[in-house]
Structure 1
Amino acid sequence: MNAIKDVASSGALSKEFMISTTFYELFDSFMGGARDLHPQKMGVDSFSRSELVGNSYELVGDASDFHFYEKAYDVPYHNRKVIIVFKYYFNGEVSLGAGLSVGDGVRLTALLKKLLMAVSRQNLDDLQLSFFFSDDRREGAVIFDDRLVVRFDQWGARNAYMVSTFECDFVESELFGAIAKNAVKDSLESVSQSVMKVEVEAADKPSAYLRLVKILQKYFW
């Protein structure tokens, strides 16, 4: 399912705003954790509630409880643009960190190849990729270095996996410290490298899953 459709009912997509920060620059920032993103990259001076409201962010949830502010942006991606919905989370008045939903058009394999080009061989060898999937292998998540969760899904039988969200744990919060990873572990099955290597030979697995495993075997394993 298109992640952008999930938030359309909230009104966040009534208007998209363009920023110069590219999709891959956002990915690099999220690799550092939920608080590593500088506000200026999203066109705001800070991630305070007053600043977000003043820049057309919309409140989702109860401001006295767990909630977030969101806004849709067009961001450069190669020679075109994609829509993201950027979200900043709070628990009451306590700032937690950021996440985002991604519109159609960003393949998981393209993201992995970009990561391959951006890091040194030594850093790549140290990179931890933990994969989780639904039983039918049509949706899943990858956790990068136990920090960043990237969720993905397959919209059609012949389609590749498309990135749907970036999510980070809120490590400074005792209550929500592992919220992103726990949500993945509670809803999806951990699938090891050895299992994926065996399953790539299975004819009953989705084409997106088979292509992903082949990319991992070629470049990462």
Structure 2
Amino acid sequence: MILVEALETLKMLNVPFLALFDLHLKEKTINHPDLFGLKDFSPSELMANDYELVGDPSDFHLYEKTYTARYNHRVLHIVFKRYFCSDRDKGSGISIAPGVRLTSLLRRYTRSQGINPTTPLSLEFYFSEDKKEGALILDDSNVIRFNQLDNRGSYMAATLESDHDGVKITTHSVRTTMDHFTFESMREALRKRDVSTALHRLAEYYFKHLTPSNPT
């Protein structure tokens, strides 16, 4: 969860959130410790810079710290996480405070990749049974988890994670715990009147900006 801390006590990153998002998608993790004022991502360096250890260091664990980052014309809270399995670095993840719409990140993704309406997109949507939580798999490796915070709002991005070193742990978790939302499922959501506002808005965006090139 995003830690509740006084804004002035948190380190403001020099790089804006959307630049971190671009880096994470491109590199499938973040390989630039200097962005966080670190020499490297070693456990000793993380602990020396007030990262919190979560889990057993002899097994799967992570180090996390809350930062602020610029997002458009405001300040966004994020939690940067570095994962380890014993002493093996397993890459990074980012938890995102409420306020970043899923469709905004989709728009950023398509623009940063130079994708146009005729370019096939590698997108897979997955949802919980009640459609209040979901995950978007990009390029078969990056995952944006999102949720619906209120009945009238849009889906908000919650976390950004990726598979690491070609091991499909993150995407496998999504595919085995959530229901795949196909092209036909999205079309049905657009037609129905009893779906949530968030799902209807996502379906509208999908058909306006992400099709017909990606009927999967």
Q: Do the structures match in fold with TM over 0.5?
A: yes
1:96 aligns with 2:90: yes
Q: Note if 1:160 corresponds to 2:150.
A: no
Match of 2:21 among 24, 27, 52: 27
Alpha-carbon deviations, 1:117-156, whole Å to 9, x = none? 3232359724301000112221100000011100000011
- In 1, the alpha carbon distance for the partners of 2:144 and 2:99 equals 15
Q: How does 1:6-155 map to 2 (within 5 A)?
A: 8=3, 15-121=9-115, 125-155=119-149
Alpha-carbon contact 2:29-2:161 (below 8 Å) kept: no
Q: Distance in 2 between the 1:18 and 1:54 partners?
A: 18
Displacement after TM superposition at 1:64 (Å): 1.1
Distance (whole Å) between structure 2 residues aligned to residue 203 and residue 135 of structure 1: 18
Number of residue pairs matched? 210
Does the CA-based 8 Å contact 1:75-1:83 persist in structure 2? yes
Moved over 6 A (4+): none
1:42, CA displacement in angstroms? 2.1
Q: CA deviation at 1:217?
A: 0.8
Decide whether aligned partners of structure 1 residues 19 and 124 sit closer, same or farther in structure 2, where only a CA change above 3 A counts: farther
Q: Which runs of 5+ in 2 are unaligned?
A: 212-216
Identity over aligned pairs, percent: 37
Cα RMSD after superposing both structures: 2.1
Deviation of 1:26 after TM superposition, in Å, equals: 1.0
AA aligned opposite 1:215: Y
Q: Is the 8 A contact 2:51 2:64 kept in 1?
A: yes
Alignment CA distance shift 1:116-1:34 (3 Å): closer
1:195 is aligned to 2:189: no
My pick for the range that moved more, 186-195 or 150-159, is: 186-195
> Residues of 1 paired with 2:57 and 2:13: CA distance?
27
Structure 1 match to 2:214: none
User: Which amino acid letter does the alignment assign opposite residue 81 of structure 1?
Assistant: V
The separation in 2 between residues aligned to 1:53 and 1:104, in whole angstroms, is 27
Q: Quote how far apart the aligned CAs of 1:208 are.
A: 0.5
Query: What is the CA–CA distance in structure 2 between the aligned matches of 1:46 and 1:205, rounded to whole Å?
Result: 46
Unpaired runs of 5+ residues, structure 1, are none
